[in-house]
A = this chain, B = another copy of it.
Amino acid sequence: MHFSQRGAHVAVLDNGSKRAWERELGVEPLVAIRSLDERVHIWQEISGRSIELFEGDLTDADFVHATLESFRPDTIVHYGEQPSAPYSMIDVRHATFTQANNVVGTLNLLFAMRDLTPDSHLVKLGTMGEYGTPDIDIEEGYLTVDHNGRSHTFLYPKTPGSMYHLSKVHDSHNMHFACRVWGLRATDLNQGVVYGLETEETVLDPRLVTSFHYDEVFGTALNRFCVQAVAGEPITVYGGGGQTRGYLNIRDTLACVALAVDNPAERGKMRVFNQFTETFTVLDLAERVREAAAQLGIAATVVHAENPRFEAEEHYYNPKHSGLVDLGLEPHLLSQELIDTMLQRIVDHRARIRPGSLVMNILWTPQPATGPTAGS
């Protein structure tokens, strides 16, 4: 909708798999989402602009090839992956599905681009979670290493924290190859944790609402904390809560993707942006939600739950993120007002909250831990 509104001729590829995963796990977005078909019609009704629909699976090479042959895009914005770390950690089947699905879909795209639209620009959703939490500064995608009197610039080495995050690291290596060897152009957006409910387009009509997840599998920290507060459940911080991550408002995600699209990478280059606007500890976010809720008369508590993940809870974290700012990004920083607005919108839909999906206990290490300590 964002690009269509800007006047672009837009097509959407989808196979509805996110909805299938929701059904599988018994979770659903806070506000019901209409079918893609309906949303396309509503968008046309409101904006007068049409969006083309290609229904199929990115892991089907013929479908991807046929779609690119028909549509011939200048730009491909690729969000079509299994996006949840907990989902990928449920068991071996969910892990291998996540990696095969994400890696094969992206490879099919890269080959179709090579053969049909080699000048098109791939804007691919990665994640800040690819990096992990190294003890040195996280640069934007590349790291120049001086070693034994010589120097080389590498893809920044990654230490990801789940089977899902690993799939994105694999994608980055595959895209880098396609740029180096085939001369394609790509932008890898290492996105932080997204929060927020609305974009400039979704507010045009309530039927265009976007997916807002608060469950353990597809929900992200701030969103989940707000829903826990409204539901009268404790705000659950995993472990000590010192885990620091990059965050951004959903409106800024669209601004970032638009900046990447408007300023394409050079042929032969995989450009990398670290796409977030601020860093917070998990505990800091929880406290902010608790305070904002209190001002609205909602008494929430913050509890430290056993961490189902394997991650360092106290660590150095200094990721650079100047690339998108240099292109003109003007961040919407996290304010009390924004949390208030989120809480109020959630109150409007509180009848739909399923408390059972707030904490689902998907464990990174399902057997008694036998390994070394996280962060060691």
State in angstroms the CA–CA spacing of A190 and B154 once bound together: 19
Are B99 and A107 touching (Cβ within 8 A)?
Answer: yes
Task: Say whether chain A's binding surface is mostly helix, strand, loop, or mixed.
Answer: mixed
- Note all chain B residues with C-beta closer than 8 A to A174: 99, 163, 166
Q: Mark A241-272, 1 if CB is under 8 A from B, else 0.
A: 00000000000000000000000000110000
- Note all chain B residues with C-beta closer than 8 A to A114: 367
Q: Mark A134-177, 1 if CB is under 8 A from B, else 0.
A: 11110000010111101110111111110100100110011011
- Note all chain B residues with C-beta closer than 8 A to A59: 96
- Interface members, chain A 98-139 (any B CB < 8 Å): 99-100, 103-104, 107-108, 111-112, 114-115, 118, 134-137
Shortest distance in angstroms between A286's beta carbon and chain B's nearest beta carbon? 24
Are A143 and B115 touching (Cβ within 8 A)?
Answer: no
Residue A351, interface by CB 8 Å: no
- Note all chain B residues with C-beta closer than 8 A to A267: 370-371
Are B118 and A95 touching (Cβ within 8 A)?
Answer: no
Q: Mark A179-218, 1 if CB is under 8 A from B, else 0.
A: 1111110000000000000000000000000000000000
Residue A92, interface by CB 8 Å: yes
Are B181 and A371 touching (Cβ within 8 A)?
Answer: yes
Residue A6, interface by CB 8 Å: no
Which of chain B's residues has its CB closest to A137's CB?
B148
Are A150 and B136 touching (Cβ within 8 A)?
Answer: yes
Which of chain B's residues has its CB closest to A114's CB?
B367
Residue A316, interface by CB 8 Å: yes
From B104, B367, B371, A180 is in contact (CB under 8 Å) with B371
Residue A329, interface by CB 8 Å: no
A-B contact pairs, 8 of them (CB 8 A): A100-B103, A103-B103, A136-B146, A155-B157, A160-B173, A166-B173, A166-B174, A181-B310
Residues of A within 8 A of B (CB): 59, 61, 65, 91-93, 95-96, 99-100, 103-104, 107-108, 111-112, 114-115, 118, 134-137, 143, 145-148, 150-152, 154-161, 163, 166, 169-170, 173-174, 176-177, 179-184, 267-268, 310, 316, 364-365, 367, 369-372
